[in-house]
Amino acid sequence: MASEISVDVAIIGAGGGGYPAAFFLDKSGFQVLMIDPIGNLGGNCLAEGCVPSKAVREASLVRAQAKKYSFFGLSGSVPSVDWKAILTYKDNVQTTRYTLHREEINNSSIKFYKGIGKIVDERKIEMITDNDHFYVFFKYLIIATGSCPKYLSIPGSHLAVSSHDLFKLSASVPFPSNPIIIGGGYIGIELASMLENLGAKPVILEFTDNLVSGLDRELSLFLAHRLKTRVQIEFGAKVECIKKEKEKFEVNYLKNNQHYSIESDLVIMAVGRECVSPEGIEKLGYATAKPLPVTNTLQLFDFPHIYAPGDVNGKSMLFHSAVLQSRVAAHNIAAGGQPLSRMDWKSVPYAVFTEPEIAGVGLTEEEALHLYGHNIEVVKYDYAVDSRAEILGETEGFIKLIFDGENKRLLGAHIAGIEASQLIAPLALAVRQRLDAEALAHVAFPHPMISEGINKAARTFSP
């Protein structure tokens, strides 16, 4: 007979959508129980995603600097690549993070379990661990089960690896010399960029005619232009099947009504991510592996005592967005289910860690034109006139700001070039706080840094 316990809040998933809420509610005096299959915090981001992938990226950037030695008046050889040593470095970063997270759990009052949380009904979940299973009754439930790599439904798709296979702890995928990457979304192009820096010759097969759907069009064109100098990109490529003979892979694809075949030593599937549903989600009337419908307070429409922050709702599948959503959910639970806090989806920035980087927040130029007509003002600051960009020899890029033509409020910001991932943060704050051009124009940004470009771009609209 399974035992039963009752808690204030049950949380399924300890990634970005789960653990920020857990710690906030624990400190607020709630009884919190959290279960996760990994058995620690961080979800897929730490296990197989953003943290380990960016660790490998940093190694690739160090090596890529050798290509610019002559620009700085330096000389020397390009460092050799020890793929196993790079993966060990990545593992060390992950292990360090896991140790810190374990200490956080131990210093809290959260009941934390490694295992599976299965929904029984709208007020009860079943907890299944290695040693036991029991039922948990809750006042509030947070579903934060995240997402996983998506695979195309084509013959031979099982022969491809995903980003999870490359970046998980103790990964054993050999370094590829000529990988084929299926998909030109942010995961695919980040992989292509870092692997090329490490000496590989990647090929990207992208079904559409641009990179990273949803980007500001000008940003997408810039990215394609720059990446094409390093990576072969085939747009309009519909992958039909993957084959393997001995150690070689063959990918067949259709482009412009013609059939093509290309060989590789590794095929990487990077066609996006799909929502991971908790077991038993059908008991609530929802389909498996489909985004859970939520309000801007992160509550399920049909069950206001159940919250679904993070990738599982499919709205903004980014770790930092999941963290913010988790806190929105926690604030509302702490307020007894009242809509104390709401999610502002458009103020969540994104960053794509290619070389060069791109980043954005708010409305694209196309979206702004659709909503406001021609009553918008678009201003740009070109890296070609920036002192730091000149110092670094990275003068291709721009900062693009989109303002409401009437009240001068910042509607969107898009950056292409070095340091874009850092520069987007203050602009995300400006979008969130509904700041205008005058606010940005009257801040003294440090010199000589590219952030000065934010100030200078705003000043062209609001002198």
The gap between the terminal CA atoms of the chain, to the nearest Å, is: 74
Confidence of residue 218 (pLDDT cuts 50, 70, 90): very high
Q: Which of the listed CATH numbers 3.40.50.1370, 3.40.50.150, 3.30.1150.10, 3.50.50.60 matches domain 157-271?
A: 3.50.50.60
pTM exceeding 0.85: yes
Q: What is the mean pLDDT of residues 435-442?
A: 96
- Cβ atoms of residues 284 and 198 within 8 Å: no
Question: Which pLDDT score is estimated for 1?
Answer: 63
Three-state DSSP at 415 gives: strand
| pLDDT higher than threshold 80 for residue 51 | yes
State what percent of residues in the chain have pLDDT above 90: 97
Residues 52, 58, 64, 65: what is their CA dihedral angle, to the nearest 10 degrees?
Answer: -170
The answer to whether 147 touches 282, Cβ cutoff 8 Å, is no
Residues labelled catalytic: 447
**Dist. CA 268–CA 188, nearest whole Å:** 8
The pLDDT of 58-69, averaged and rounded, is 93
Q: What is the mean pLDDT of the chain?
A: 96
pLDDT at position 57 is 96
User: Where in the chain are the domains?
Assistant: 3-148+274-345, 157-271, 356-461
pLDDT of residue 246: 87
Number of Cβ within 10 Å of residue 211's Cβ equals 26
- The alpha carbon of 247 is separated from its chain's Cα centroid by a whole number of angstroms, namely 32
Q: What are the binding residues?
A: 54, 117, 145-147, 183-190, 206, 272, 311, 317-320
What whole-number distance in Å separates Cα of residue 238 and Cα of residue 170? 33
Q: How many helices (H) and strands (E) does the chain have?
A: 13, 20
CB atoms within 10 A of CB 184: 30
How far does CA 402 lie from the centroid of its chain? Answer: 24
Q: How far apart are CA 301 and CA 289, in angstroms?
A: 18
Amino acid at 155: P
Specify the CATH number of the domain 3-148+274-345: 3.50.50.60
What pLDDT band is residue 131 in, cutting at 50, 70 and 90?
Answer: confident
Mean pLDDT of 386-400: 96
Q: Where is the binding site for FAD, in residues?
A: 54, 117, 145-147, 311, 317-320
* 90: phi then psi, degrees, rounded to nearest 5: -60, -45
Half-sphere exposure of 303 (CA within 13 A, CB side): 19
Superfamily name with CATH number, domain 356-461: FAD/NAD-linked reductase, C-terminal dimerisation domain (3.30.390.30)
| The Cα angle at residue 101 between residues 96 and 107, in degrees rounded to 5 | 130
Domains 3-148+274-345 and 356-461 share a fold: no
